[in-house]
């Protein structure tokens, strides 16, 4: 995809990776719709700002109606509750699934006909290395991201017939508000945004941003006790 001719819609563009991805796409010449639950937080020069909560079907439908020229849908909106699966809040676990899985699905269902009408275009789902491996305190988040990864594979097959390219972005930790509480090595969000834009331009079906993503994917073929040594 040539980004200087693209019309992109980015969800969760009020902060974090979404904000930086929207800025990067705009800097490369794309027309950008930047959406967020709090539109006032969006700071993307030249973008059209739209309110959007991906857990609200009416809001999703309104955005699809307001952006009929989209050729690139970037599903980035997300959250992390840091709840556990066994004894954590079921409401928090449900919210993560509602946002990452069903929110992405709502957007894809709303924009699939828009993309088809505009020549096929592309869908990019911002996933995580945690789609493939999990950690204590992130088990619910990982489950939701794993579901979104499977969804990405599914819609890739379903949308191939209309010429829509579907890509999944995987990375470890980025230096965003979501990861503020964790003292781990973090990628600059500007670096991630540039890697995502490069992958879109190349037509990559999987955009593995860093070694954490590469290693997590490789671990899918490993013995479970190697991946999780605490089980030994």
**Which of these is catalytic: 33, 101, 135, 141?**
141
Domains of the chain, earliest start first: 3-231 (3.40.50.720)
pLDDT band at 62 (very low <50, low <70, confident <90, very high): very high
Question: Quick one: pLDDT band at residue 189, thresholds 50, 70, 90?
Answer: very high
pLDDT of residue 224: 95
d(CA 202, CA 82): 34
pLDDT given at position 232? 86
Q: Which residues contact 21 (CB under 8 A, 6 or more apart)?
A: 10, 13, 74, 76, 126, 192, 193, 196, 197
- The arithmetic mean of pLDDT across residues 92-98, rounded, is 98
- Can 228 be counted among the known catalytic residues? no
Check residue 36 and give its pLDDT. 98
**Alpha helices (H) along 47-188:** 57-66, 90-97, 104-117, 139-159
CB atoms within 10 A of CB 168: 24
- pLDDT score for 177: 76
- pLDDT score recorded for residue 178: 77
pLDDT at residue 179 in the model: 73
Q: Which of 112, 123, 136 is nearest to 169 (CA)?
A: 123
Helix (H) / strand (E) element for 224: namely helix 224-227
Provide the whole-model pTM.
Answer: 0.96
| Distance (Å) of CA 218 to CA 134, 214, 223, 226 | 14, 6, 11, 12
CB 9 within 8 A of CB 111: yes
Residue 157 pLDDT greater than 90, yes or no? yes
Mean of the pLDDT values across residues 19-46?
97
Please, which pLDDT band fits residue 48 given cuts at 50, 70 and 90?
very high
Average pLDDT, the chain: 96
- Mean pLDDT (whole number) for 111-133: 98
The kind and range of the H/E element at 22 are helix 16-27
């Amino acid at each position: 995809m040539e980004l200087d001719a693209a019309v992109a819609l980015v969800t969760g563009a009020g902060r974090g990776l979404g904000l930086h991805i929207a800025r990067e796409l705009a800097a490369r010449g794309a027309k950008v719709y930047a959406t967020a639950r709090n539109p006032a937080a969006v700071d993307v020069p030249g973008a059209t700002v739209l309110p959007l909560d991906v857990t609200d079907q009416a809001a999703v439908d309104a955005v699809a109606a307001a952006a009929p020229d989209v050729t690139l849908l970037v599903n980035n909106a997300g959250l992390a509750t840091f709840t556990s699966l066994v004894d954590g809040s079921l409401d928090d676990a449900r919210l993560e699934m509602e946002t990452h899985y069903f929110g992405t699905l709502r957007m894809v269902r709303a924009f699939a006909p828009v993309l088809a009408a505009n020549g096929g275009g592309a869908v990019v789902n911002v996933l995580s290395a945690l789609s493939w491996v999990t950690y204590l305190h992130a088990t619910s988040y990982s489950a939701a991201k794993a579901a979104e990864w499977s969804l990405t594979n599914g819609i890739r097959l379903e949308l191939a017939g209309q010429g829509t390219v579907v890509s999944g972005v995987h990375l470890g930790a980025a230096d965003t508000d979501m990861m503020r509480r964790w003292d781990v090595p973090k990628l600059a969000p500007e670096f991630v945004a540039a890697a995502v834009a490069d992958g879109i331009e190349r037509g990559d079906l999987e955009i593995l941003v860093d070694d954490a993503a590469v290693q997590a994917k490789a671990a899918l073929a490993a013995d479970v006790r190697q991946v999780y040594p605490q089980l030994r």
